Amino acid sequence: MKRVAIIDDWGGLASGTVAWERLTGRVDAQAFRDTLADEEALAKRLAPFEIVVGVRERTRFTAGLLGRLPKLELIALGGGMTGQVDMAAATARGIVVTDSSGSGAAAIEHTIGMIMAAVRRIPQEDRALRAGRWQTAVGIELGGKTLGIIGLGKIGSKIAAFGRLLDMRVLACGLTLTPERATAAGATMVPLDTLLRDSDVVSVNLRLSDKTRGFLGARHLALMKPTAFLINSARGPIVDEAALVAALRERRIAGAALDVYDTEPLPLDDPLRTAPGLLATPHIGYVTRELYTTFYRDAVEDIAAFLDGTPVRVLAAPGT
């Protein structure tokens, strides 16, 4: 019987999925609801397991870590492969790596929810009402305003459609965006600086890469209107967190909404926790019952196929 570690199960959702019943009697599974950042502690935890089931981007499997897990045979990831596994090292050690199918709908819906909650001050009014107060803040209407989208891909294009539905003018920029693609999405392609100066709501929807890490810094935030809102549901390191905290504390922008952070889970002493005008959610953009069901259904299917010796959706190392 193989031992299975279900890691990064922050909400206890993975281990409660009915898909695991298919492996009853075939594996000994143990779920861990925390994420270990220390490689020594992580290696010690995972050393007894032949199979690890992870969630996208929460734990990185470096060459060093993989070298300390001699029993490891299979890594089954929930979500699309995002570079969290050193594939060359895994391939060299004969470790099979799989990922799951998914959907962008959850992230799109969450981004829309963050935009609406931020501009209408919904969290602030909820807290005020529970404290006995009544109508303490004034929101804004989005109709006739300008929505700026940084990264007009699968998610960004849907956010653009949402903006058009509300009669917003939509601007867009991106590393590979063309005027033709922007027009097809109902947006106008402009330089980044122009987008930041003209937009009332800026939505960050880029992929994280070496080119986008630190993409928005203090200089960029200084271009935004004092009445504008920044929404980041993409990846934390795309926006300079220290610069954003300073902009919020100095009231240089009206507010921000974040679902992603440099360090996750967010440390208890992180300055973002006390930043004024910030709506913060714990990276739940893709955390839905439907998507988690897909993640772990696919993981269970891959584990069953692996145990049966039948073909598995194996990811390959670059160049192999």
Could you tell me the CA-to-CA distances from 317 to 96, 189, 262 in Å, in that order? 10, 36, 26
Annotated catalytic residue 264 = yes
- Six-digit token string for 2: 């193989």
Strand partners for 30: 5
Annotated catalytic residue 121 = no
Q: Which residue in 255, 315, 16, 284 sits closest to 121, CA to CA?
A: 255
Q: Are 255 and 124 contacting, i.e. CB atoms less than 8 angstroms apart?
A: no
- Start-to-end C-alpha separation, the chain: 31
- Six-digit token string for 267: 């440390």
Return the exposure string of 234-272: e unless at least 16 CB atoms fall within 10 Å of the residue's CB, then b. Answer: bbbbbbbbebbbbbbeeeebbbbbbbbbbebebeeebeb
CA angle, corner 250, sides to 135 and 216, nearest 5?
Answer: 105
The active-site residue, picked from 109, 264, 301, 313, is: 264
Say how many CA atoms lie within 13 Å of 153 toward its Cβ.
Answer: 13
Q: Are 72 and 42 contacting, i.e. CB atoms less than 8 angstroms apart?
A: no
The active-site residue, picked from 110, 121, 220, 235, is: 235
Annotated catalytic residue 141 = no
- Six-digit token string for 299: 């993981």
45: three-class secondary structure by DSSP: helix
Say if strands 169-173 and 2-6 run parallel, antiparallel, or are unpaired.
unpaired
The active-site residue, picked from 283, 290, 297, 313, is: 283
Could you tell me the CA-to-CA distances from 102 to 11, 65, 286 in Å, in that order? 19, 27, 9
The set of catalytic residues is 235, 264, 283
